[in-house]
Amino acid sequence: MDRIVGIPLVALFRVAPRRPRPDPASISRIGILKTAAIGDTLLLAGVLAAIRRQYPKAALVLITGDDNAPAAALLRHVLDDHVTIRPREPVASLRTIRGLRLDVLLECGPWPRLDALLATLSSARFRVGFRTRGQARHFGFDAVVDHSSMIHQFENLQNLAMAIGVTAFEPPSLRPPGILPRSRLRDRPVAVFHPWSGGYMGHVKQWAEERWVELAHSLYVARRMHVLVSGGPGDADKSRALANRIAAAGGAGHSIAGDFTLAELADVFASSDVVVSVNTGVMHLAALLGVPTVSLEGPAAAHRWGPVGPRVRSVASTVPGSGYLDLGFEYDGHRLDAMDGVSVSATLGAIDELLG
């Protein structure tokens, strides 16, 4: 529906006049629109901080959907406001956005046409968004930024901010919120496993359970490391089953799926020795916190979506043709067994590199 209806609607604005960027002194409210994907939203951390430094007197408003709204709790230190919309209710969403009375709006989605339409009709004085090859979504923006498949997504997001005059960036990073009491954190050696991936075709990014069990057993034998299996509320049953398999195989496993909010999970990660995750938003959370993070890369292209942080490793699949995802939906015609090429031995090697 987004493609069939969205492209013709966006194309109506092909001949609309483009407005110049407002004088910086007149910019008092800047909106950042990102309606989905927790990991992508967290990668905005460095961009938001840079905008804050460039426009210290402007109010910074993050606009998310329900899906990625929990990420805003970890970005509050660089935000003045956070607004949640329902993209499936476009009229109500547009009313909310127009009510924000924005001077500038950065639309951060690389492909959804609905988001581009919301930005185009937002009444913001200056609208910036991506021109992505084959997506036909850019016609209503005042400033167009070419989205590149050759660089990491956080660099694409930086390029958006450069369109409003931001030039000085630091690597994106997060700090643990410190909201969990010490009594809820483990004081023994702990590895957090995040085996699950949501979103379209998320199961293709997941690793075979027997490999998680083998990895947990090896960590327990070598380092007496206990494993916490994380996940959302919907992952609770399978996380508990995996933890039980780990225990039955001689490891030490415990499920924490659904026990913590995303912000609380940041505190759990910060008190852990290492996080091992498939390529998903939770992986980006751990990496941006500076926690030793190992990301298991099958269909995801590491140069586009790999972990960003001071202590990270990617374990790439050895299956030919892996690492093909660019925008996240390019599964047709590609290998769906890419995760089979991620070995336990290579993952252990990456953990050893990080921990010594």
pLDDT tens for 344-354 read 999 999 999 99
Spatial separation of the C-alpha atoms in residues 43 and 169, rounded to whole Å? 13
Give yes or no for a contact between 228 and 268, defined as CB atoms under 8 angstroms apart. Answer: yes
Helix ranges, 55-138 (H): 90-99, 113-120
Confidence at residue 1, expressed as pLDDT on a 0 to 100 scale = 86
* pLDDT tens per residue across span 308-320: 999 999 999 999 9
Q: What is the pTM of this model?
A: 0.95
Give the residue among 238, 237, 261 at the shortest CA–CA distance from 184. 261
By CB neighbour count within 10 A (0-12 exposed, 13-18 middle, 19+ buried), where does 31 fall? buried
CA angle 13, 15, 16 (to 5 degrees): 65
Give yes or no for a contact between 61 and 73, defined as CB atoms under 8 angstroms apart. Answer: no
Spatial separation of the C-alpha atoms in residues 186 and 76, rounded to whole Å? 26
* pLDDT tens per residue across span 143-193: 999 999 999 999 999 999 999 999 999 999 999 999 988 767 767 789 999
- C-alpha dist (Å) from residue 348 to 148, 227, 239, 293: 33, 14, 21, 12
Spatial separation of the C-alpha atoms in residues 179 and 229, rounded to whole Å? 20
Instruction: Say whether pLDDT at 294 is over 90.
Output: yes
Spatial separation of the C-alpha atoms in residues 310 and 286, rounded to whole Å? 11
Pairing label, strands 126-131, 81-84: unpaired
Confidence at residue 65, expressed as pLDDT on a 0 to 100 scale = 97
What six digits make up the tokens of 101?
């009375």
End-to-end C-alpha distance for the chain, whole angstroms:
50
Instruction: Say whether pLDDT at 231 is over 80.
Output: yes
Instruction: Say whether pLDDT at 52 is over 80.
Output: yes
Confidence at residue 356, expressed as pLDDT on a 0 to 100 scale = 87
Percent of the chain with pLDDT over 70: 99
Q: φ and ψ at 104, to 5 degrees?
A: -135, 140
The CATH H-level (homologous superfamily) assignment of domain 2-162 is Glycogen Phosphorylase B; (3.40.50.2000)
Residue 67, SS3 per DSSP? coil
The ranges assigned to domains in the chain are 2-162, 184-355
Q: φ and ψ at 192, to 5 degrees?
A: -100, 125
Spatial separation of the C-alpha atoms in residues 171 and 173, rounded to whole Å? 6
Taking residues 333-349, what's their average pLDDT? 97
Give yes or no for a contact between 46 and 171, defined as CB atoms under 8 angstroms apart. Answer: yes
Residue 98 burial (CB count, 10 A)? 14
3-state secondary structure 288-311: HCCCCEEEEECCECHHHHCCCCCC
| Residue 221: half-sphere exposure toward Cβ, Cα within 13 Å | 10
The CATH H-level (homologous superfamily) assignment of domain 184-355 is Glycogen Phosphorylase B; (3.40.50.2000)
Give yes or no for a contact between 306 and 298, defined as CB atoms under 8 angstroms apart. Answer: no
Confidence at residue 187, expressed as pLDDT on a 0 to 100 scale = 72
Residue 225 — pLDDT band, cuts 50, 70, 90? very high
* pLDDT tens per residue across span 26-50: 999 999 999 999 999 999 999 999 9
162 dihedral zone (left: phi>0; alpha: psi -120 to 50; beta) = alpha
Query: Which residue has tokens 């007496």?
Result: 224
